Amino acid sequence: MNRSLRNIFFRRLNLLAIASAAIFGLLLVQAERVILLNDLHNKGQSIARILAAVTLDAVMAHDYATVERYVSDIVADSSIVSLTVKRADGEILAAYGETAGAEDLLAISHPVMIGGEVFGEVHLDFSTARVQSISRNLLLATVAAVIIFHLLGVLISRSALKSAVVMPLAKLNRAILTLRQGNLDQHIDIDEPTEFADIGISFNEMAATIRETFDDLRQQRERLQFEQSKLAAIVNNMADGLFVTDTSGVIISFNNSAERITGFSAAEAVGQKCSDLFRSSLCRDACALYHAGETINNRPTTLTTKAGESMVVAVSSAMLFNAEGEVVGGVQTFRDITADQKRQEVFCHTEKLAAIGQLAAGLAHEINNPLGNILGYAKYLDQAAPPDDFAKRVEIIVEQTKRCSGIVKGLLDFARRSASRPEAIAPNSLMARVADIVRFQADKKGIAIHLDLQSAGMIIADPQKIEQVILNLMLNAIQAMRGPGNIWAGTARRGETILLSVADDGPGVAPEFSSRIFDPFFTTKPVGEGTGLGLAICEGIITEAGGAIDVEDRPGGGAIFTVILPGANFAAANQPPSPVSEGV
C-alpha cells in the first residue's frame, strides 16, 4: 500500500466524508421524516377540521353530494389512503379508499360537532409511503450531493495539496538528495505556503551551516594531516626509539629509530605484543599501562634485540588517551643506554675510589688511635703487674684490635666493585651504620650528627649502593660546612615510599646550581678536592633502584637531600619477571 502523504490524506478524507455523509444523511432524513410526518399530521388535522365543518353545513342542507365531492376531491390526494365521514350512529355519509393491507398509516380523526354534541366523525388514513419515498430520495440526494461535493473537494484538495504540500516537499526532497550527494551549494526558493517557506529558509541556513562546517572540517583535516605529517617526521627522525601499544600491549606503531635500535622492522613489530617482540620485561618495567598511569621517565630496563642481544635501555612511557579521556594505549620511547651504563659504572667506581681516598685519611687517624692504644698497652705487657691489671690491658688490646679490624672491613666492603644485588633492607640500620662511619670525620669538625629514624619499612635495593649514596650525601654535608654544625639524617615513610634524608645547616646550594647539581663532573669544590661524580652516581643508583633524589633549601639555612625509594611491597611488584611470568 502506497503510504504517501497524498494517499494517507485522501484515505482519511474519504473515510471522513463517508462517515459524514452517513451521519449527516441519516440525521437529515430523520429530521425530514419528523417534519414530513408532522406536516402530514397537521395537514390531516386541517382537512379533517375543514371537512367536519363542511360536512355539518352540507348535512344540514341535505347536500351530501357536496360532502361526497369534497371527500372525492380530497382523496384525489394520493397520500390519503382512505377517508370516511360518518354519523355518530355509524351511518357512513361518505367513504373512499381501503385500508386493508396498507402499511405505515397515519390515522387522524376529527369530530363533527353540533352545539357541543358529537354529530359524527371525519377519519383519514394517510399513507406514509410518500414520506418514506421522500426520505429515501432525500437520503439518496444527500449521499449523491455529499459524494459530488466530496469529489469536488477531493479535486480541489488534490490541487491544493499538490501545490501547497507535495510540490514544496518534492523540491525540498530534491535539494536534500542533492545535498546528500555532496553538492553543498544548495539553495531552494519556496514562496508559499509560509510553513514550507520557513522550512526552505531553515534548509538554506542548514545548508550554509553544513557548508561552513565542511569548510572548517576540510581546513582542520588539512591542518591535522599537516600535524600528522609533522609528527610522523618527528617520530621517524627522533633519535630515540618509539612505539605505541594498545591497551593489551600490542604494538600499533613503530618508528625508524625503534627499527634501528632493535633491528625489528615496523612490519615485524606492528601487531606483536611488546613482551613477545622484545622478550624482556621492558613493558612491565617501564610501560605506563602497568604503573597505574604513572608517567615514567628514563627507567632503565632491558630488551632483546632481533639479533638476540640483551640491551639496556632507558624507557619513558605515558598513557595514550582518546578524546573522551579513555585510555587507548601507551606511548613508549626508549634509548640505548648500554654505553651510558658502562660509563656510569666507571664514574661510580672512580668516585668510590675518591671517597675511599678521602676516607683513608680519616681512617688512618681512626686506626692510629687504637693502634696507639694497642702499642701503649702492649709495651706494658712485659712488665710485672697484678693479674687483674694484666688481664685488663690484654682485653683493651683485643678490643682496640677488633676496632681496627672493623674499620678495615668496612672500608673493604665499601670499596668492593660489584653488580647490583637487590635485597630487602631496613633503611634505618643502613642510615645508622653510615652515620657511624662518618661520625669520626664529623667529630673532627665539631659537627653533630642527629639521627631521626622513623621508618619501620623495608626497601628492595642493593644495600652497598644505597649505603654508598648515603655516605656520599653525608660526606658532602660534612665537607660543605666550614666549621661546627649539625647534620640531620633520617628516614620516614610516605605512602608507598620510603624517604631517606640528609640535611645540614651549612651554606646550602646556590639556586643557580640546584638544576645542575646531579650532572656528572659538576662540583663546587676546589680543584683537586672533588671529581664531580658523587651526586651523578647517586642519582644513577637511585634511578636504577626505581627511586628519585632531590635537593632543596633547608628552612633556617642549609640543604636537604631527599632520596625517595619505593617501599618493599610496591617494589616487589616491580621485580623483574620470572622466566615463566611473561606477558604484558
Partner 1 sequence: MVFMRRYPVLTIMLILAALCIVGPGPALAEELVFSTHPFANPAAVHKTFQPLIEYLRRETGLAIRLKIAPSYTAHVTTVGLGQADLAFVGPSPYVRIKDKFGGVELLARLRMEDDISDKVVVVCRAAAPFKSLAELKGKTFAFGDPQSYGSHYLPRWMLRNSGVPVGLLAAYDYVKSHDNVILSVLHGDFDAGGVRLDVYRKYADRPLRVLAGPFLTPPHAIICRASLPQDLRDKLRQSLLALRDRKVLERIDPAMQAFEQVTDSDFTQARQVIKVIEAR
Q: Which is nearer to partner 1, 68 or 582 (CB)?
A: 68
**Minimum distance of partner 1 from residue 121's CB (angstroms):** 15
Q: Which is nearer to partner 1, 71 or 283 (CB)?
A: 71
Q: Which is nearer to partner 1, 55 or 441 (CB)?
A: 55
| Measured distance CA(8)–CA(163) in Å, rounded | 17
Residue among 463, 351, 451, 350 nearest 413 (CA)? 463
**Minimum distance of partner 1 from residue 91's CB (angstroms):** 6
**Minimum distance of partner 1 from residue 79's CB (angstroms):** 20
Beta bridge partners of 492: 499
Beta strands in 216-286 (DSSP E): 241-246, 251-254
Report DSSP state, residue 429: H
**Minimum distance of partner 1 from residue 63's CB (angstroms):** 5
Q: Which is nearer to partner 1, 64 or 513 (CB)?
A: 64
| Helix runs in 416-533, H state only | 427-444, 463-480
DSSP 494-519: ETTEEEEEEEE-SS---GGGTTTTTS
Alpha-carbon dihedral 53, 55, 56, 59, rounded to 10 degrees = 160
**Minimum distance of partner 1 from residue 65's CB (angstroms):** 3
Q: Which is nearer to partner 1, 83 or 533 (CB)?
A: 83
Residues within the interface to partner 1 (CB under 8 A): 61-69, 87, 91, 93
DSSP 345-364: HHHHHHHHHHHHHHHHHHHH
**Minimum distance of partner 1 from residue 61's CB (angstroms):** 7
Beta bridge partners of 303: 311
Q: Residues 6 or more apart from 218 whose CB is under 8 A from it?
A: none
Q: Which is nearer to partner 1, 94 or 286 (CB)?
A: 94
Write the burial class of residue 432 (CB in 10 Å: 0-12 exposed, 13-18 middle, 19+ buried).
Answer: middle
- For residue 201, give Cα distances in angstroms to 13, 179, 183, 190: 30, 15, 18, 8
DSSP 6-60: HHHHHHHHHHHHHHHHHHHHHHHHHHHHHHHHHHHHHHHHHHHHHHHHHHHHHHH
Q: Which is nearer to partner 1, 64 or 440 (CB)?
A: 64
**Minimum distance of partner 1 from residue 86's CB (angstroms):** 10
Q: Which is nearer to partner 1, 66 or 157 (CB)?
A: 66
**Minimum distance of partner 1 from residue 67's CB (angstroms):** 8
Q: Which is nearer to partner 1, 64 or 390 (CB)?
A: 64
Residue among 493, 506, 485, 484 nearest 554 (CA)? 506
**Minimum distance of partner 1 from residue 50's CB (angstroms):** 16
| Measured distance CA(159)–CA(149) in Å, rounded | 15
